[in-house]
């Protein structure tokens, strides 16, 4: 049974390395090599849609692109695909009035909104 114990320890070590790579090494590498993830974003939120502007991107997204939203204490995730989303941190709003105006736009244009405390 010693060989089985050694096999289990080896398999556990290999699994731990895979998890380390998947959750720490690969995301860090992707973030450092993708220029669009390091740029400062400028967002303009209006009834017409969301205008994203960075050094590398200038796009206007219509509200109809967004199928659902996840709202929590710190951010708004606006989904426009199964794994594609726009992240809007709450800290970008300078006042409660801006938050209220955005919330109103969100409820008018996105049908499926999930709120988490």
Give the pLDDT score at 32: 83
Structural domain boundaries in the chain: 2-33, 39-115
Write out pLDDT tens, residues 41-53: 888 989 999 898 8
* Predicted pLDDT of residue 31: 79
Mean of all residue pLDDT scores within the chain? 90
Average pLDDT over residues 76-90: 88
Segment (H or E) for 96:
helix 96-109
pTM for the full predicted model: 0.67
Using 50, 70 and 90 to split pLDDT, how confident is the model at 36? low
pLDDT of residue 57: 83
Distances (CA, A) of 43 to 17, 50, 89: 39, 7, 11
* 3-class DSSP state of 48: coil
Architecture (CATH level 2) of domain 39-115: Roll (2.30)
């Amino acid at each position: 049974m010693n060989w089985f114990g050694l096999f289990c320890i080896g398999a556990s070590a290999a699994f731990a390395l895979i998890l380390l790579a998947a959750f720490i090494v690969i995301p860090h590498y992707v973030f450092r090599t993708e220029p669009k993830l390091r740029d400062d974003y400028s967002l303009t939120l209006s009834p017409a849609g969301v205008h994203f502007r960075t050094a590398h991107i200038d796009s206007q997204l219509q509200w109809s692109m967004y199928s659902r939203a996840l709202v929590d204490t710190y951010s708004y995730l606006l989904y426009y695909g199964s794994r594609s989303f726009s992240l809007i941190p709450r800290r970008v709003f300078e006042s409660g009035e801006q938050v209220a105006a955005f919330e109103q736009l969100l409820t008018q244009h996105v049908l499926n909104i999930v709120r988490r405390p």
